[in-house]
Structure 1
Amino acid sequence: MNKIVAFIWSLLVIFSCKTPGEEYQKPNIIIILSDDHTQQAISAYGSTLTQTPNIDRIAHEGVIFNRAYVNNSICGPSRAAILTGKYSHKNGYKDNENSFYDSGQDQFVNHLQAYGYRTAWIGKYHLGKNPKGFDYWEILPGQGHYYNPDFIQMDGSTVRKEGYVSDLIQDAAERWLDDRNDDSPFCLIVGHKATHRTWMPDLEDLGRFDDIQYPLPDNFYDNYEGREAAKVQDMSIAETMLLDYDLKMYPEDTRDINVTRMNAAQRDQFDTYYRAIHKDLINADLTGKTLTEWKFQRYMRDYLATAASMDRNIGRLLDYLDGNGLADNTIVIYLSDQGFYLGEHGWFDKRFMYEESFRTPMVMRYPGVIEAGSISDDLVMNIDLAPTILDAARIEIPAAMQGESFLPVLTNSQASGRDALYYHYYENGEHAVSPHFGVKTDRYKLMRFYNRVESWELFDLENDPSEMNNVYGQEAYVAVEKEMKERLLGLMEKYEDEEAIEIFNLPTELDINRK
């Protein structure tokens, strides 16, 4: 997409919303960022697993993005990409194990500040302990905790707050909104801990979905034929999901800090619920697939119950905007830091470039600019958020930002968006997912795994949407393979990913044998 033309289009649309001589009122911006939520668990995306009325409300009053994706499917790197509008190799935060995030680098919030915006980040940050670019912040240390979480304050102190994390984050967001002492436009990022492992529901949601029997995904018992990296991963419900840590089947003397930090009343209600389930499990003496499928049901119930509290608090925030006369001039964006597996391929977690984790839920409300009930099938990415927000605020988009504003494709039917997406995942430790990079177009996806596993994978998404059949090396796809490699190399060069280019030029064993 021609960035200059796109920018002009977006300005024309925004100007058209004002009468001649009327001064432009910069929109307020709220970004609600969840952790490990996924399209499969949102009713606006057609999910029948649960209902998410408040996320759905944003979609119904604005636009739902059917094809929103991330640069790197893991918590910290995704947040870094959102703030900087850059890929991981450019913003310096490639993984959660070895990277350090320089919060002093150029971020979209710095530009908002320079143009008079008040900025704040409240909740899960996961990029260190000293956010910059914010007039106010109050963040969870690292992953934080669901019950009675600690919050790092701007003076460096840590305060423990009693209650459930989703409620407390919303409380803090409302306090900050209440305490604003002028009419300056604002940008508030609300970082929810939900729905990150270990999926601990609010007490009022315990048992919420216990009467539901969730269907196993069609590829729950995937054997990973033809996908070498998938064969060696360590993120399966059968083998990796822990009965105690993940599913709360604790011994009575557990020292798990997720539980021991509860007060007596919380602990009593929590134990009463989970110990009854644990007793039934012991009596059932399950093994093999029967045990695996029991784990899947417990996982789904806890995961979706954890999401329920977050959705409820998103509703609180929307109601706050309504009640304080802020709704009409506030952009509200909800998205997750990446998608997540709900049993597809037998997995939980994320990381892979397969659709369930590469794709992220995203909905956006922008009254007066985006028509209510809009549906976007354009390819967009998390790196596009920063330039889009600056575009909406009429602030020049820095040339170093690699994302592109998606306002034009939402407001001009003649505008065209991306025709391909680039992805690069680096971490080579937890869950044994091999680093890889790749390209996705409307129909095809090509991935190159390296370090742990050296292999290529090619998928025809039109004929194989679940990505079960790796057609790399098959004669019928030789031309597609060549074209996709050219597309991949072109994107790596465009985004200046030199490390990936070097790996791209190294042949795998299959490539050598074919010669």
Structure 2
Amino acid sequence: MIKNRRTLFLLFAGLALLLLVQSCQEKTEETARPNIIFIMSDDHAYQAISAYSDKLIRTPNIDRIAHEGMLFTNASVTNSICAPSRATILTGKHAHIHGKVDNNFPFDTTNVTFPQLLHQSGYQTAMFGKLHFGNNPKGFDEFMILPGQGDYYNPEFITNKGDTTIEGYFTDIITDLTIDWLDNRKKDDRPFLLMYLHKAPHREWIPAERHYREFTKMTFPEPETLFDDYSGRGTAAKEAEMNLLKHMTISADNKIYPELADKLGIKEPSDWGKNVFYQKYKRLNEEQKKSWDEVYQPLNDEFEKLYPTMNDTAFMRWKYQRYMQDYLGCIASVDENVGRLLDYLKKTGQDKNTIVVYTSDQGFYLGEHGWFDKRFIYNESFKTPLLVKWPGTIAPGSVSDEMVQNLDFAQTFLEAAGITPPDDMQGESLIPLLEGNENLWTRDVVYYHYYEYPGFHMVKRHYGIVTKNYKLAHFYYNIDEWELYDRKNDPMEMTNVYNDPAYADVVKEMKEKLTEIRAKYKDTKESDQKYIDKYRERGLIKE
């Protein structure tokens, strides 16, 4: 009897020990999976991050991510417009596959997103900030997002627990929400995905009070191509409606009170600018309005004296300075708040096993070629900032010039978490590059396709490919024009060399690559026509 009891005891003890060891192993494996913090701003030009160039602004906190990790100098988007870019990031698919080809087309909700897969595999998930499409993001334990474009001041939020309004400045608020989640609701025994999504510096570029008081006094260097006449390009560049002088509103964008604009006889491109100015100003509480008027009323008074003396050149230069003062003022708050988050992670020790990504949903024109906005395959629009740190994996201070895209984020995060990506994802994991194994990276060309025409800013439909050396674009639908740029010898993309005999062999090779890559990504003439027909169905094309 005693012998049987002893045997039974040893059996149970051994089983308990086995379960304990297995539990510890599972917990160790779970803990080893990295946390992921995805920081994305809206329309943040790479030219306005000092890790790329300190000509316009210093961004020491965003730069920290590059100093502690990797800076990508050839990162790009697949479609330079907000909602399609975000859908591509979430799904790892091109726009013609996920269906969100512009800001108005619906997102195909049958698409599986990487947050869903991380959540299913045990990750805690949270999203704070600006998603810009859909009000119920899948795969998140908690979210607080703006409805549509949302507001800089006193923003409304959609949450999975009901809608709410929070008083204050949006960039500060979402950082408070993000740190509060990390501090109070994140569970320490599970890895997490945190999406921290800024509205800034999206149009209409409304800075925090502490920054507009400072930045409205500054003067910024003009880009070399501010007065580009597009003589070296085709029809698309000449007909786009994003010129600072002609298309930037004096009220919503440059903060001139509509009453003064009317008094001076300034004609706006439409009533949009006046209506938006009133809408945003009315959102301010009395204290915020008082602070606003203390700064912008004297600016208006000065403009009233200057405007009658201005020719088009002087007016263009004035508009550029006003644009930069507010745009860069918005970025100053983003940089401060990224610093707050990085400091919190370091203080709590959560930085050690955490991937931190900083990017934008696309690039943006800061007066280059006389433009604001994005949409084109040209560099300032097509290229996007990308900075990644991952302690113990990425060597600090690394730089990569490989051709990477926002299409690649989903696979990268899934591989980092040990999850096999779905077969229909179209990107490539960046892990080999992050680990310093550039020899394992085989992509030398990326694909781009823009659809929204006719539409806001009237940038014509086009698709194309980009390598480190060349860029080939085909503008189609109501024109049939090809453009080729030599990226090494013409970095500002001033001269289309498609018809230059010296580039005949390059054109032939690039067209072959374009045919191959369109087949690879299943983008066809039939697909092009499909989305033209959908524009007709919606009454956007009238012929």
The normalised TM-score by structure 1 is 0.91
AA aligned opposite 1:309: S
Tell me which residue corresponds to 2:201. Answer: 195
AA aligned opposite 1:473: N
Equivalent residues in 2 for 1:489-504, closer than 5 Å: 489-499=515-525
Residue 118 in 1 paired to residue 140 in 2? Answer: no
Structure 2 counterpart SS, 1:189: strand
AA aligned opposite 1:349: D
AA aligned opposite 2:372: F
103 and 191 in structure 1: CA distance in 2 versus 1, 3 angstrom threshold: farther
329 and 295 in structure 1: CA distance in 2 versus 1, 3 angstrom threshold: same
Indicate which of 503, 508, 531 corresponds to 1:482: 508
* Distance in structure 2 (CA, Å) of the matches to 1:72 and 1:502: 14
* Distance in structure 1 (CA, Å) of the matches to 2:517 and 2:504: 20
Structure 1 counterpart SS, 2:145: strand
Shift of 1:172: 1.2
Tell me which residue corresponds to 2:479. Answer: 453
181 and 413 in structure 1: CA distance in 2 versus 1, 3 angstrom threshold: closer
* Distance in structure 2 (CA, Å) of the matches to 1:413 and 1:487: 22
Contact 1:335 1:361 in 2 (8 A): yes
Tell me which residue corresponds to 1:59. Answer: 66
* Distance in structure 2 (CA, Å) of the matches to 1:235 and 1:453: 19
Contact 1:378 1:417 in 2 (8 A): no
Indicate which of 169, 172, 184 corresponds to 2:174: 169
Shift of 1:207: 3.3
Residue 234 in 1 paired to residue 230 in 2? Answer: no
Tell me which residue corresponds to 2:229. Answer: 223
Contact 2:69 2:396 in 1 (8 A): yes
AA aligned opposite 1:33: M
Residue 426 in 1 paired to residue 448 in 2? Answer: no
Contact 1:103 1:130 in 2 (8 A): no
Tell me which residue corresponds to 1:279. Answer: 301
Structure 2 counterpart SS, 1:462: coil
Structure 2 counterpart SS, 1:187: strand
* Distance in structure 2 (CA, Å) of the matches to 1:260 and 1:207: 20
The normalised TM-score by structure 2 is 0.86
What per-residue deviation string (whole Å, max 9, x for no partner) do you get for residues 92-113 of structure 1? 110013x111344211111111
Tell me which residue corresponds to 1:138. Answer: 144
Aligned residues: 482
AA aligned opposite 1:414: N
* Distance in structure 2 (CA, Å) of the matches to 1:158 and 1:499: 43
Residue 204 in 1 paired to residue 217 in 2? Answer: no
Residue 311 in 1 paired to residue 335 in 2? Answer: yes
294 and 408 in structure 1: CA distance in 2 versus 1, 3 angstrom threshold: same
Tell me which residue corresponds to 2:429. Answer: 405
Shift of 1:39: 1.0
What per-residue deviation string (whole Å, max 9, x for no partner) do you get for residues 382-410 of structure 1? 01000001111111122111000011123
Residue 345 in 1 paired to residue 350 in 2? Answer: no
RMSD: 1.8
* Distance in structure 1 (CA, Å) of the matches to 2:62 and 2:391: 16
Contact 2:35 2:353 in 1 (8 A): yes
* Distance in structure 1 (CA, Å) of the matches to 2:244 and 2:112: 40
Shift of 1:78: 0.5
Tell me which residue corresponds to 1:508. Answer: none
Shift of 1:23: 4.1
Shift of 1:267: 0.5
AA aligned opposite 2:124: R
More helix as a share of residues? 2
**Structure 2: 5+ residue stretches without partners:** 1-26, 261-273, 530-543
Shift of 1:436: 0.6
Structure 1 counterpart SS, 2:246: coil
Contact 1:379 1:417 in 2 (8 A): no
Contact 2:142 2:159 in 1 (8 A): no
Contact 2:48 2:328 in 1 (8 A): yes
Tell me which residue corresponds to 2:91. Answer: 84
AA aligned opposite 1:439: I
Equivalent residues in 2 for 1:250-269, closer than 5 Å: 250-251=257-258, 256-269=278-291
AA aligned opposite 2:70: V
Contact 2:469 2:488 in 1 (8 A): yes
* Distance in structure 1 (CA, Å) of the matches to 2:215 and 2:168: 22
Tell me which residue corresponds to 2:319. Answer: 295
Residue 213 in 1 paired to residue 230 in 2? Answer: no
Equivalent residues in 2 for 1:466-477, closer than 5 Å: 466-477=492-503
What per-residue deviation string (whole Å, max 9, x for no partner) do you get for residues 227-255 of structure 1? 21000000010101111010111146976
* Distance in structure 2 (CA, Å) of the matches to 1:112 and 1:501: 31
**Structure 1: 5+ residue stretches without partners:** 1-20, 504-515
* Distance in structure 2 (CA, Å) of the matches to 1:192 and 1:91: 23
Tell me which residue corresponds to 2:441. Answer: 416
Contact 2:96 2:527 in 1 (8 A): no
Structure 2 counterpart SS, 1:43: coil
* Distance in structure 1 (CA, Å) of the matches to 2:123 and 2:445: 33
Shift of 1:463: 1.5
Shift of 1:181: 4.0
Shift of 1:182: 4.8
* Distance in structure 2 (CA, Å) of the matches to 1:160 and 1:204: 22
Tell me which residue corresponds to 2:114. Answer: 108
Identical positions, percent: 49
Tell me which residue corresponds to 2:379. Answer: 355
AA aligned opposite 2:44: H
Structure 1 counterpart SS, 2:359: strand
Residue 438 in 1 paired to residue 464 in 2? Answer: yes
Contact 1:237 1:296 in 2 (8 A): yes
* Distance in structure 2 (CA, Å) of the matches to 1:243 and 1:443: 39
Structure 1 counterpart SS, 2:507: helix
* Distance in structure 1 (CA, Å) of the matches to 2:354 and 2:434: 17
Structure of larger gyration radius: 2
